[in-house]
Structure 1
Amino acid sequence: MSSGKSLRILVVEDEILIALELESLLQEAGHDVVGVATSCDEALAMARDLAPDLAFVDIHLTDGPTGVDVCRHLTSQLGVTTLFMTANAKRIPEDFAGACGVIAKPYTERGVREALAYVIVGQKPHGAGAAQTMTFVPFEALSREDSSQVS
């Protein structure tokens, strides 16, 4: 990344192949993946112990649709910036559970890089038709009426 800032990232994903692919992509982008959690309890324990800067959180984990709870706790109790990474965007609550955006699955490398740029330096995706083609959607760009774009 051009900013040179390296983030400590926790991946909360129960599909191991997706987690490994994301871990590799994040490392290639110059970031440190501090852990991979597959359940709510594991994610919260790792976050307390490892103090990540950012967490990519899937909504449906091995213990059910607990990703929203993980996100709420990470943001409100531990101050961790969170991004949802999910194919179940309709399960994201109206208040976004404290997350700053969502990456739709199946994700793209471009979507992950856009999300990282947004988190690091506040760059918003730009260009004609960006909202229709990107896989990353920053929540601040959406009003309640526009939240259907996330699905």
Structure 2
Amino acid sequence: MKVMIVEDEMLLAMELESEVEMAGHQVTGTAMNREKARDLMEAQRPDFAFVDVHLQDGQTGIDVGRDLASKGIPYVFVSGNIKKIPKGFAGALGAIEKPYTVNGMKNALSYISAIVVGDEDVAPPASLVLADDV
């Protein structure tokens, strides 16, 4: 699975990139703001994205999410405050709250991978708050 990471905290982005690659997926790029995220979407369409709500250019992660949803690209918000995510999660599958554990992220990534390939019979991990649950 090709994964795009939208995160303005470089250490968190690098950690997430490492976890994605250790799980056998390819990171297509990392964006720290909405413009860079749009450029990455156009250059290499990802199969999935992790999106922080607050980026270098403000609360634009929600807009990035809407951009992804408009292109049919599934994504999950990764945020320190999931209460800032709008009702309906702006088209996201769900959210992972920071700080997250490596094991929690690994379980979420396994679930997301299954969903992206069409396996609807997997149970979501506790680390992932589904949009339908709010």
Q: Which runs of 4+ in 1 moved over 6 A?
A: none
Which structure 2 residues correspond to residues 15-34 of structure 1 after superposition, within 5 A? 15-34=9-28
Instruction: Find the residue that maps to 2:56 and give its secondary structure.
Output: coil
Which structure 2 residues correspond to residues 1-151 of structure 1 after superposition, within 5 A? 7-76=1-70, 78-122=71-115, 123-125=122-124, 134-140=126-132, 142=133, 147=134
TM-score, normalized by length of structure 1? 0.80
Q: Aligned AA for 2:20?
A: L
The answer for unaligned runs of 5 or more in structure 1 is 1-6, 127-133
Instruction: Find the residue that maps to 2:55 and give its secondary structure.
Output: coil
- Distance in 1 (CA, whole Å) between partners of 2:11 and 2:100 is 13
1:4 matched to which residue of 2? Answer: none
Q: Aligned AA for 2:19?
A: L
Instruction: Give aligned pairs, total.
Output: 128
Shift of 1:135: 2.5
Instruction: Find the residue that maps to 1:33 and give its secondary structure.
Output: strand
TM-score, normalized by length of structure 2? 0.89
Shift of 1:55: 0.4
The answer for unaligned runs of 5 or more in structure 2 is 116-121
Shift of 1:71: 0.2
Q: Aligned AA for 1:104?
A: E
Shift of 1:136: 1.6
- Distance in 2 (CA, whole Å) between partners of 1:117 and 1:24 is 15
Instruction: Find the residue that maps to 1:35 and give its secondary structure.
Output: strand
- Distance in 1 (CA, whole Å) between partners of 2:41 and 2:129 is 24
Identical aligned residues as a percent: 44
Q: Residue 49 of structure 2 contacts residue 73 of structure 2 at CA under 8 Å; is this kept in 1?
A: yes
Instruction: State the superposition RMSD in angstroms.
Output: 1.3
- Distance in 2 (CA, whole Å) between partners of 1:139 and 1:118 is 14
Q: Residue 89 of structure 2 contacts residue 131 of structure 2 at CA under 8 Å; is this kept in 1?
A: yes
- Distance in 2 (CA, whole Å) between partners of 1:92 and 1:125 is 19
